[in-house]
Structure 1
Amino acid sequence: METSTGKARFDDIYDQPDPRAYFRRLAPLAYEIPHHGQAAFRRAAAARAALDDGTRQPAAVLDLCCSYGINAALLNHDVTLAELYARYTGPGTRRLTTAELVEADKDFYASRRRDGAYRIIGLDIASAATEYAVAVGLLDGAYNENLETDEPSAPLRSAMAGVGLITLTGGGSYVTRNTFRALLPQAGRPVWVSAFVLRTVSYAPIAELLAAHGLRTVADASRSYPQRLFTDERERRYAIEAVRALGLDPADRETSGRFHATLYESRG
């Protein structure tokens, strides 16, 4: 499926009872942005945690567009994205029912849990995906709300009061300033944002909103992070045209056959 712009969508894999279809579909496209997020989010989470004085519960992480809890898996566990691809596309889990996979994944992630793991909550409209992530212990809670159109529920407002870091990898093309406008007023402590956003999308509207809440956004424009291969030539043309329209140079990035993302760090 494609959007009207030419960028492919994969809606059918985002809300399955478990992540096997997700990894099978994205493996041939070398989808890799969560791998880059692993190191970046660990750095950001550690720096944000250093602000807490130890007199109350450490600030939580809110992962936007959390899906099956992949960012949470990589942040809190001794596991790599390559290992997750191997696990969910390989023969070891192929014949398991979802219920059997959930039980196996509980043990899998518990055995790889890092010391000092962060409390992570997720926000995603895909309820089946978040149910899996909570069931296997990747997320401490999840909220299936669309803040592009709706106000946050009372439970989400309460949870947001304890958040200190917001992370984003896969939703930069769909989440706008509306979501951040709904979330930030609910914060009960300083909130930072660490977001990977495709170069085909302007982050300026979100950065402006974050600035209004006292957050300064920085990005290393000289560096980008490969996201995935293009599905076809139409998608390649779309990406090249989109980055040029934003005043960026696609040479050796989008012209090489992959979407690329920029990492934006917003801190007070």
Structure 2
Amino acid sequence: MATEITDSTAASDWGKADFEAIYNCPDPQRYFTTLQPLEYQIPQHGQAVFRAVTDALQRRRADRPPLGVIDLCCSYGVNAALLNHQLDLSDLYDRYAAHGPGAPQPHQLAEEDRTFFATRRRPDACRVIGLDAAEHAVGYGERVGLLDRGFAENLEHDEPSADLRKALADIDLITVTGGVGYITARTFAHLFDCVSSPPWVAAFVLRTVSYRPVSALLARAGLVTEKLSTRTFRQRRFADGEERRAAFTALAGHGLSTVGKEADGFYHADLYLSRPAADVAALPLSQLFPG
């Protein structure tokens, strides 16, 4: 399925604090230790949304169990952990951010994690493919069993590998919880060139970032994109005043008010769901996410 790559570039300087050092460590401990004080919470919102979406997809595609999901900007497999296991984000904070000086070494933690997640796996678990440029993080997610397959590839700059193309052929759902801005329509175009039929796309997108280039590309691939209008979702606290000012400037540029949203000190994200028109008609967004 050929899709056109729009002329959009990754936002490498868009006002957010630089946390690059925590995204490609040998294990997730520094990631969670750094983000816990900022009340990073978007994966917890993702758990409820992605479970609702996968439940709906499973009902519509009962002939294809288990569902195939690709999580973009997957890091250590956090979304896969929350989607497929009996735990929540607070359990992951307790596990990775509470060790202090006695923290286990990465190989020891990985061994323990294999058992930890295996004993909590849900019987209706999806097959999750992880995609992220951070090779150590992706590798950890694979080693502990969170990712059925992991690909350390950067589709902003490179074509998908032959192995990734093969893995994506029958995917049902694409998920992302905040990576849009770092990745653009270019990554989505590469993904849609690999699929045999259009998957659903569930994306949490910071309000400081425009989703229009991605939704336009998805429309050309045959998907209707809807934004949940009833609420936004907190991502994390602003790291400092500079980050807050940059966010407010970006939001003003989009003509958006911060009242009741970013004025509370947190980044807020919108939820977008893209589906074929027939699926939109059969299951309105208000029924999928009531309240």
TM interval, shorter chain, is over 0.9
User: How big is each residue's C-alpha offset from its partner over 1:136-163, in whole Å with a ceiling of 9 and x where there is no partner?
Assistant: 0000001111111111111111011021
**Equivalent of residue 93 in structure 2, options 85, 93, 103:** 85
Bigger relative contact order, structure 1 or 2 (CA pairs below 8 A, ≥6 apart): 2
Q: Does 1:202 align with 2:222?
A: no
**Within 1, Cα distance between the matches of 2:106 and 2:131?**
22
Q: Unaligned stretches of 5+ in structure 2?
A: 1-11, 277-291
> Which residue in 1 is equivalent to 2:235?
227
Structure 1 unmatched runs, 5+: none
SS at match of 2:236: strand
Partner SS, residue 193 of structure 2: helix
Deviation at 1:170, TM superposition (A): 3.0
Alignment deviations for residues 179-217 of structure 1 (CA, whole Å, 9 cap, x no partner): 011111211234000000000000011001001111111
Contact 2:76/2:137 (<8 A) preserved: yes
1:12 aligns to what? 21
Query: Which AA in structure 1 matches 2:95?
Result: R
Moved beyond 6 Å, runs of 4+: none
Give % identity: 50
- How many residue pairs match? The answer is 265
How far off its partner does 1:57 sit?
5.1
Matched, 1:136 2:157: no
Q: 1:163 to 1:90 in 2, by over 3 A?
A: same
Q: Letter of the 1:14 partner, please give it.
A: Y
Verify the 8 A CA contact 2:198 2:223 in the aligned structure 1.
no
Give the letter aligned to residue 25 of structure 2: Q
User: Is the 2:129–2:148 contact (alpha carbons within 8 Å) kept by the matching residues of 1?
Assistant: yes
- Give the TM-score taking structure 1 as reference length: 0.95
2:51 to 42, 64, 83: 42
TM-score (norm 2): 0.88
SS class of match (1:195): strand
Answering whether residue 176 of structure 2 is matched by residue 168 of structure 1, we say yes
Contact 2:38-2:236 within 8 A present in 1 as well: yes
The AA in structure 1 aligned to 2:109 is L
Q: What one-letter code is carried by the residue in structure 2 that aligns with 1:40?
A: V
Equivalents in 1 of 2:228, 2:255: separation in Å? Answer: 16
Alignment match of 1:115 (pick from 119, 123, 126): 123
Q: Does 1:238 align with 2:255?
A: no
Which residue is 2:289 aligned to?
none
Residue aligning to 2:112? 104
Give the counterpart letter for 1:145 in structure 2.
E
Q: Which residue of 2 aligns with 1:256?
A: 264
Distance 1:62 1:4 in 2: 26
Cα offset for 1:255?
1.5
Please tell me whether residue 60 in structure 1 is matched to residue 68 in structure 2. Answer: yes
Q: Please tell me whether residue 31 in structure 1 is matched to residue 40 in structure 2.
A: yes
* Greater Cα offset, 255-264 or 41-50: 41-50
**Matched letter for residue 71 of structure 1:** N
